[in-house]
Amino acid sequence: MSPLQTDLYQLTMAAAYWQAGKAEQESVFHLFFRRLPFKGGYAIAAGLGPALDWLEAFRFGTAELDYLASLRTPKDLPLFGGDFLAYLGDLKLSLDIDAMPEGTAVFAHEPMLRVQGPILHAQLVETALLNIVNFETLIATKAARVCHAAGDGPVIEFGYRRAQGPDGALSASRAAWIGGCQGTSNVLAGQRFGIPVKGTHAHSWVMSFDNEQEAFDRYAETMPDNSTLLVDTYDTLEGVDKAIATARKLRAQGHELSGIRLDSGDLAWLSQQARLKLDAAGFPDVKIVASNDLDEHLVESLRHQDAKIDIWGVGTNLVTAADQPALGGVYKLAALRRDDGSWQPRIKLSEQSAKSSIPGRLQVRRFCQEGEFIGDAIHDLDHPVDGPVTIVDPADPIRRKEIPAGSEFMELLKPVMKAGTRTGTAETLGVIRDRCQASLAGLHPGILRLSNPHAYPAGLEGGLHARREELLAAYH
């Protein structure tokens, strides 16, 4: 948990803020993304817990300061002055952070975090916050999509071996559990987060014996109440027959075969044939597990083909988010405190209107009707919102939704850190996971579709939209 988990330019900007006498100027930054991942209809906020852990532990120790002191300019001069490094050595973050709780459904342009405090402090944490929140939000969203495709069938995250390094694997297991997976193959994630650990055996186990039957029997002897046999090493349906023979031996000893796993071939047809064989042999409770580069689209297709698959093992395409390996979240300055104590909104311009930032100190208001979410309005804390609300799409101002006065609503950004210290105890993953399921249940089914989903109304409150347009016009 090092403060050097950052980009160099954050430190050079920090040195420049300090040199310019601006280090303590109060600022507001927002962390958000501009486009929903996977061409989907929603995202699931995740990563806040690890981000707060990092923030609370943020300190420049001797090792970090010695390294920074060793950095040189092209003219072989110290990159950072001794007085600035001494300042860093005494630095304790003094940031107020409001954030969407993990597991909350979130949409484009909505701030997941609002970071308020001295600008030097807020700048130094940008890179790590983006790294943590971007990745876990991406994987939690992918997991939610896979689990939606699987319906009532449990999804087990099998991705450790294909993840982007050990840290990526651990973060992915955590996020996949939040998104709805019911277990992981990652034993460290089980120990660290309390996620149920699941697994079968590899082809190498079968290949290490002279015949498949002996391999199955020996594995079942070792794991009589936890045997799921991988049946496709040589011939899948012959493998099923041998698994049935092992199941009979287990039953004679008072145990039951847990399942078989299919990892190649035509999974729909093979699962149907395997189910017929298992049922005919008197083993209707033996589960059929499927793996082999699954994603939400293949899972959905297999279910439409009436595949007899009970449990889905999803690895590479889940933990790497293979079809979109980055969320694209950004962290933008939105307001600075003036000398008189008032807030000056700040805006980043772009030739693409959707990429121009949103000024002000923002909050997200979610409106509900009979248990369903009907729209989100991003609004400015310094301009109270009363009466009916107009939601304006920041990418397409013609798209608007009117919310009548008196509608039920909740404010999504909650205080999680005050002056650099957590405001409460860390949430358990069980609470976060339940919130994710409740968030998804609050969305119209059309928004959950994997392809061409219905667009959820999320955008700027009408007054904020007008003020943003004024700022854009003033700078042009």
d(CA 298, CA 305): 10
Residue 302 CA, distance from chain mean position: 25
Residue 475's pLDDT is what?
75
Residue 351's pLDDT is what?
64
Query: β-strands 372-380, 362-369: how paired?
Result: antiparallel
Q: Give the residue-averaged pLDDT of 108-116.
A: 98
Q: Which CATH superfamily groups domain 140-319?
A: Aldolase class I (3.20.20.70)
d(CA 32, CA 107): 9
Give the number of other CB atoms < 10 A from CB of residue 104: 24
Q: Is 458 helix (H, G, I), strand (E, B) or coil?
A: strand
Contact 458, 375 (CB under 8 A): yes
Summary mean pLDDT of the chain: 96
Task: Name beta bridge partners: 78.
Answer: 72
CATH 3.40.50.700 fits domain 8-58+93-137+325-475: no
Shared fold status for 8-58+93-137+325-475 and 140-319: no
Which residues fall within 8 angstroms of residue 321, CB to CB, at 6 or more apart? 37, 38, 138, 139, 142
Residue 434 has pLDDT above 70, yes or no: yes
Q: Give the residue-averaged pLDDT of 24-35.
A: 97
Q: Give the residue-averaged pLDDT of 27-38.
A: 97
Residue 25 has pLDDT above 70, yes or no: yes
Going through 121-236 in order, the beta strands assigned E by DSSP cover: 155-157, 183-184, 228-230
pLDDT (tens digit per residue) in 186-198: 999 999 999 999 9
Residue 476's pLDDT is what?
65
Residue 98's pLDDT is what?
98
Residue 359's pLDDT is what?
95
Contact 360, 335 (CB under 8 A): yes
pLDDT (tens digit per residue) in 260-270: 999 999 999 99
Closest by CA position to 438, among listed 103, 86, 159: 103
d(CA 322, CA 169): 14
Residue 387 has pLDDT above 90, yes or no: no
Residue 473's pLDDT is what?
84
pLDDT (tens digit per residue) in 125-138: 999 999 999 999 99
Residue with tokens 């099923």, as numbered in its chain: 240
Q: Is 165 helix (H, G, I), strand (E, B) or coil?
A: helix
Residue 472's pLDDT is what?
86
Looking from the CA of 327 toward its CB, the CA atoms found within 13 Å total: 31
Contact 31, 130 (CB under 8 A): yes
What values do phi and psi take at 197, rounded to 5?
-100, 140
Residue 352 has pLDDT above 80, yes or no: no
Q: Where are the alpha helices (DSSP H) in 253-355?
A: 267-280, 296-304, 316-319
d(CA 294, CA 158): 10
Residue 347 has pLDDT above 70, yes or no: yes
Q: Give the residue-averaged pLDDT of 379-391.
A: 94
pLDDT band at 348 (very low <50, low <70, confident <90, very high): confident
Residue 353 has pLDDT above 80, yes or no: no
Buried b (16+ CB within 10 A) or exposed e, 289-328: bbbbebbbbbbbebbeeebbbbbbbbbbbbbbbeebeebe
pLDDT (tens digit per residue) in 131-187: 999 999 999 999 999 999 999 999 999 999 999 999 999 999 999 999 999 999 999
Q: Say which amino acid occupies 432.
A: I
Q: Give the residue-averaged pLDDT of 430-444.
A: 98
Buried b (16+ CB within 10 A) or exposed e, 345-384: bbbeeeeeeeebbbbbbbbbbbbeeeeebbbbbbbbbeee
Residue 315 has pLDDT above 70, yes or no: yes
Instruction: Kindly report the three-state secondary structure assignment for every residue of 361-424.
Output: CEEEEEEEECCEEEEEEEEECCCCCCCCEEEECCCCCCCEEEECCCCEEEECCEEEEECCEECC
pTM value? 0.96
Q: Is 107 helix (H, G, I), strand (E, B) or coil?
A: coil
The DSSP code for 427 is P
What whole-number percentage of the chain has pLDDT above 90? 94
Residue 395's pLDDT is what?
86
Give the residue extent of every domain in the chain. Answer: 8-58+93-137+325-475, 140-319
Closest by CA position to 114, among listed 31, 34, 44, 35: 31
What value, to the nearest 5°, has the Cα angle with vertex 345 and ends 341 and 351? 165
